[in-house]
Structure 1
Amino acid sequence: MTTNPSYSDRFASDGTVLRHLERPTPRYSLPRAVKNFRLLLKDKEDTSLVFKIYESLPSKSFMPRVEELTLSERGEFLRRTEPSLPELLDDHDELRKTLKGSLAHAYCDFMESEGLSAAGLVAESEKLGRPKYNDLVQWFGDRSRDTHDLFHILTGYGRDALGEQCVLLFTHGQAPTQGHLLIGYAGAANIRKMTWGSKAPVMGAVRQAKRTGRGAPKLIEQPIRELLRQPLDRVREALNIPEPTLYRECHRIWRSEGIDPYDLLGNEDAPGELASA
C-alpha cells in the first residue's frame, strides 16, 4: 500500500509529519460498507461498526481538509492548546465551574443523563485494533471523533433514532463523506418504513440537518475550550445553528399519533425489519 509522497513530505512547525509514510491508504468498498450497515441495524449500539463503514467509504476530500487545517496557524494553535479533547471533555468537575447556561453545563447534563463519556467513544473506536501513527492525520481524525457528542448539544438533536441520523447529516454538511450519507439517509428511510403512514417529515428533517451543517463554521476548527465557557445560545448564534424545526415537528406529530420518538426501534420486530431493508 502506498501513500501520496507529497503528504509524507509535509510537516508542521514542530516536526510532526502530515501523513506517516507507513499509514495505509484506505480502500473503497461499498459492499463492505453495506454489510457493516446491515450489522449496525441489528445492533445499533455497536459503534465500532460505524467506524468500519467510514473506513470502507474514504472521502477524496479528507486529506486536503487535514492539510488545510493542520498546517495553518489556526491548526497549530489548536494542537498546542487542545492536543487531546477527551481529558478536557470528561473533566466534569472543571466544566461545571463555568456559569450556568454554558455549553459546558449543557454538555455535562447530556453526557451524564445518557451515561456517556468521551473516553467511552475512544474505547469504541479502538475496538477495531487499528495502529496509531504520530502524524497530523491522527490528531485530525481523533478530534473529529471527539467532537461528535458536542454536535448533539449544539444542534438540539437527541440520541433518538431520528436525532442520530440528523447529526450524521449535519456532520456530512461539515465534512462530506459517503459514510455519513449512507448511514444518515438509509437510517432515515428505515425510520419512515417503521412509521409508515405517519405525516412526520422525516426526510425533510435530515435534509435540514445537512443544510445546517453546511452553513455552519466547522466545529473541528473552533477552540473547544473557549466555546465550552460561553452561553449555549451565544455559541449557537456564533456558529449559525438555527432551531431544528423539522426534527421537532417529527416528534410532535409522532406523539400525536401515539408513537414514542425514543422507542421507534424498541419493539421486538424492529431489528429484523430493519435488517431486511
Structure 2
Amino acid sequence: MNMMTAPLDAKPAHPQAHVDFAAPDLPMMLPGRPPARYNLPKAWHHFKELVKDKEDTSQVAPIFESLPWRGIYDAALGFLKTERAQEIRRKEPSLVALLDDHDALRKLPKGSLAQVYCDFMEREGLSAQGLVDELDKNRPADMYWDDQVSWYFNRMRDTHDLLHILSGFGRDALGEQCVLAFTYSQQPSPAHLFLGYAGALEIRKHPVKVPVFRAVREAQNMGKACPRLVEMSISELLPLPIEEVRARLNIKPPRFYNEAHATWRAAGIDPYDLMAPVKQAA
C-alpha cells in the first residue's frame, strides 16, 4: 500500500500559506484543539475501503484521524519549549520550501544527503509540496491551526521521504510498510502500526515467501533506535555525507528487507511490481 506519495503536478492552494511559522509571537498551542481519541469503527471502515482500492489515498487520512498518537500534544509541547526547538523553527519555518529548492540543494557536496534526496525525488517524480497537496485534498478546514504545534506536525509529514532515503526502504510495497513501522517508533500513532502490519499481511499472500513480518519488525526497531527526525535540524544534516547522517541517527542497513528483495529478484520478480507473474524455472 503506497499511501504517502504524490505526483509533482498536484498544486491546490494551501490554507496555511499565509502563516509565518518562524514568527517569534506565533502561539505555541491555540486553545480548542480537539483531544486525540480513538474511533475504531471509523478506522476499520476506511481500511476496508482502502483494501478495495489501494490507490484511493483519500481513505488514509481518516484512518490516522481515527487512530491518533495520543501523546502527540505532549511530545510537541515538550520539544517546542526548548531553546533548540525555537532555533530550528527560526531557521526552518518550512521544510517544504527547503526540500523543494533543488537548485540550492544541488550546490551541496557530492554524496551528501541533499544530493541523494534530489536524486530520489527527481527519479520518482515527487516533491515535498506534492505530498502536502495530496494529504490536504480531503482535510476539513477546521483542522488547520495557526500555531507552533502545526509547525511540528508539518515536519512529521515533510520528513516522510527523508525517512525512505535514510532507512534504505524503497517505495515498493514492502518498503512502504517498513517506513510505516519505522515511523511508528518515531511518531507512535497506532495507525502507522495498523497499516504497516495490515499491508505486510497482504504482501505475505504472495506465492514466493520472504521474511515480510521480520522486515517490518526490524524497521520498527530501527525507528526506535533513531533519534526523532522531526526534532533535528534538517538543514544541518543535508550537507553531510549520507553515511555520516545514518551513523549519527543509528541507522544500519535493513537485513530482512534486503533479503526479501534478493529472494524476489532471484525468482524473477520485481519487488516494485509484486503483481507480475512469477517466472518459471527452465
TM-score by length of 1: 0.87
User: 2: distance between equivalents of 1:64 and 1:264?
Assistant: 40
User: 2: distance between equivalents of 1:72 and 1:43?
Assistant: 43
Does the CA-based 8 Å contact 1:165-1:183 persist in structure 2?
Answer: yes
User: 1: distance between equivalents of 2:60 and 2:276?
Assistant: 20
Name whichever of 18-27 and 143-152 sits farther off. 18-27
What residue is the counterpart of 1:271 in the other structure?
none
Name whichever of 250-259 and 238-247 sits farther off. 250-259
2:158 equivalent to 1:146: yes
3-state secondary structure, aligned to 2:165: helix
User: 1: distance between equivalents of 2:224 and 2:176?
Assistant: 17
What residue is the counterpart of 1:205 in the other structure?
215
- Picking from 106, 117, 121, the partner of 1:111 is 121
Name whichever of 26-35 and 77-86 sits farther off. 26-35
Q: CA RMSD in A?
A: 1.8
What residue is the counterpart of 1:73 in the other structure?
83
What residue is the counterpart of 2:260 in the other structure?
250
- Picking from 40, 55, 59, the partner of 1:45 is 55
User: How many residues align structurally?
Assistant: 254
- Picking from 101, 105, 109, the partner of 1:91 is 101
User: 2: distance between equivalents of 1:100 and 1:20?
Assistant: 42
Between Structure 1 and Structure 2, the one with more helix by share is: 1
Gaps of 5+ in 2: 1-21, 278-282
TM-score by length of 2: 0.85
The alignment-based identity, stated in percent, is 53
Does the CA-based 8 Å contact 2:100-2:127 persist in structure 1?
Answer: yes
1:174 aligned partner, one-letter code = Q
Does the CA-based 8 Å contact 2:36-2:70 persist in structure 1?
Answer: no
2:200 equivalent to 1:167: no
What residue is the counterpart of 1:134 in the other structure?
146
Q: Could you list the per-position Cα deviations for residues 51-88 of structure 1 after superposition, in whole angstroms to 9, with x for gaps in the alignment?
A: 22111111221111111111111211111110111011
Does the CA-based 8 Å contact 1:57-1:179 persist in structure 2?
Answer: yes
2:211 equivalent to 1:185: no
Cα shift at 1:137:
2.0
User: 2: distance between equivalents of 1:101 and 1:35?
Assistant: 44
